[in-house]
Amino acid sequence: MTNPVIDGVKAWLPELAAIRQDIHAHPELGMEETRTAALVARELRALGIEVTEGVGKLGVVGTIRGSRPGQRVIGLRADMDALQIHEQTGMPYASTTPGVMHACGHDGHTTMLLGAARWLAAHRDFAGTVHLIFQPAEEGRGGARAMIADGLFDRFPCDAVYGLHNAPTLPQGVFGTRTGPALAASDRFIVTFRGTGGHGGSSPHLATDVTVVQAHFVLALQSIVSRNVPAIEAAVLSVGSIEGGSPVSPNVMPSAITITGTARSYVPAVRDLLEKRIGELAQGLAASYGCTAEAIYRRGSPALVNHKEQTEVARAAARTFVDSAAVKVMPPITGAEDFALMLEARPGAFMFLGAGTGPDGTSPEVHTPHYNFNDAIIPLGVAYWVSLVEQEMGMAGA
């Protein structure tokens, strides 16, 4: 299926790929994206786009006003931050910052939105306004929350907001989304058990042993999902660390031990239940073994819930340049995305774009040291953004 945007962007692809690879070579963690934000602002200004910097500390918003009268306003969002992972791709543009890499494709997301900015700046024949939202700190450092708290949607009102993420698990050029809960709420729990500790070899009867209570707690956690969460709902509880005692003193029972983990859910009632039951189990087991417990439940991003009307708009946008069969209804994903906060504030939808295999024939998953964004999908991402503007604002000739 031919598309003028894809055909046009292919001519720019070397330039866009160079931008993407430059961002990739200079990754920055959340709320540290000074270089990336400056690059984005510079590129937007070079296109004659109105730019606002420093939204939520490092967020950048570019505003493009259509040449035809219209009051409709939409937001298109891309994320800019990298991850604390040591890159092992071996690419010539690999990360120059040890221990930090673009392992989730945010370098590609930023580049695709910059490509859309280039097209829209030159083709303003739409009725309304488009805000290009370049967000810092998606990876758990509160970027969406910071931008919203800084008045994102008050300063840049949006009738709808849209997000796009690459997906190595989907074939190249396949789009996927769903109405309703699409990604999970991401929370963390920290439970600390405290007792007296003691000599585990000679006099364990004189001590309160926190290692025993934590063992029962870890096993009991899974009863929350299997026996407290309704069978028709979904939830995940996983322990990520257990810290206490010393390997050089195995005969000494520690006086404190800490368990940390993650909790994933899709609906508020289940989220509340997980928090409540984790605390109740910790306190109840501690009391039964003569110990005390402190349970902390830290809420991260809520579940990402796509709105029905905007999800249909997103699907229609993708279908303008790929076959209908290439626009899939995806099952819910237990990953998390802080774009969920923007969807709580405004109607909208989040779309996945299949990245397929890279030039070497492999498709490593995101958040792994071998992952690399596939530059071949940049024209598809640009076409999707432009098509959204067409669907929302009747853009002519797209």
Contact between residue 119 and residue 103 where contact means Cβ atoms under 8 Å apart: no
Measured between alpha carbons, how far is 213 from 201 in angstroms, rounded to an integer?
Answer: 18
Rounded to 5°, the CA angle 362-367-369 comes to: 60
CB 77 within 8 A of CB 60: no
Determine contact, residues 5/119, Cβ cutoff 8 Å. yes
Secondary structure of residue 259 in the 3-state scheme: strand
CA dihedral 366, 371, 376, 380 (to 10 degrees): 10
Among the listed residues 130, 118, 138, 126, the one whose alpha carbon sits nearest the alpha carbon of residue 162: 130
3-state DSSP assignment of residue 88: coil
| Secondary structure of residue 196 in the 3-state scheme | coil
138 in active site = yes
3-class state of residue 220 by DSSP = helix
Other beta carbons within 10 Å of 227: 10
> Distance (Å, rounded) from C-alpha 237 to C-alpha 253?
27
Q: What is the DSSP letter of 101?
A: B
Q: Which of 138, 187, 337, 390 is catalytic?
A: 138
- The answer to whether 81 is a known catalytic residue is yes
Catalytically annotated residue among 33, 81, 337, 392: 81
**Which amino acids are annotated catalytic?**
81, 138
